[in-house]
Amino acid sequence: MGTTKAVVSGSAGFLGRKLALRLLQVNVSVLGVDLGPPPFSMTGYQHIKSSISQAVDSIMAHLKGGGVFFHMAG
């Protein structure tokens, strides 16, 4: 079984949004972290409008038990 959870920082940006959508297509639960609004609303996607440093507890909770973090923020 592959990764089932991911965090994408910069998820409202062009590359972060594309990555999050692709992960969702392969049934990966995605937590998006960005200073901007959510780029979309889909099952399996959660969004935190925050900086990474302020979202550490939520990131750690989402990745508990394993997962991957993609840093796509500029």
Residue at 23: amino acid letter: L
Per-residue pLDDT, averaged over 15-29, amounts to 97
Measured distance CA(37)–CA(47) in Å, rounded: 8
Confidence of residue 29 (pLDDT cuts 50, 70, 90): very high
1 pLDDT exceeds 80?
no
What digits encode the pLDDT tens for the residues 45-67?
Answer: 999 999 999 999 999 999 999 99
Residue-averaged pLDDT of the chain: 95
Write down the pLDDT at residue 3: 78
Nearest to 9 by CA among 66, 43, 58, 44: 58
